[in-house]
């Protein structure tokens, strides 16, 4: 792959993580990639994710944990921003 493209794409992932969770650690960047990919596949090919969930229950539990972590971080970030917006 083109290095310039990789850098540009990584900056998109970085900004997404920053806006959604406020956390831009390397671990969170990987979680955002998993979250975005699984979310897209689940919406585009729900039968595939259903099958995968059934055949990989441990993976399903990990994806759920990642989704919940991202949701909680997003909610905390939004709550912290509310006083600033008023």
Q: For 39-66, write each residue's pLDDT tens digit.
A: 999 999 999 999 999 999 999 999 999 9
Residue 86, pLDDT > 70, answer: no
For the full predicted model, state whether its pTM sits above 0.85. yes
As a whole number of angstroms, the distance between CA 86 and CA 5 comes to 39
Question: What pLDDT, in 10s, does the model give residues 1-38?
Answer: 889 999 999 999 999 999 999 999 999 999 999 999 99
Count of residues for the chain? 86
Helix (H) or strand (E) holding 25: none
């Amino acid at each position: 792959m083109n290095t310039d493209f990789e850098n540009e794409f990584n900056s998109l992932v970085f900004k997404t993580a920053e806006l959604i969770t406020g956390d831009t650690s390397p671990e969170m960047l990987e979680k955002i990639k998993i979250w975005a990919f699984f979310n897209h596949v689940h919406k585009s090919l729900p039968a595939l994710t259903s099958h995968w969930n059934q055949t990989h229950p441990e993976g399903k539990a990990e994806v759920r944990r990642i989704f919940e972590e991202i949701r909680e971080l997003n909610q905390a970030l939004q709550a912290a921003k509310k006083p600033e917006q008023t």
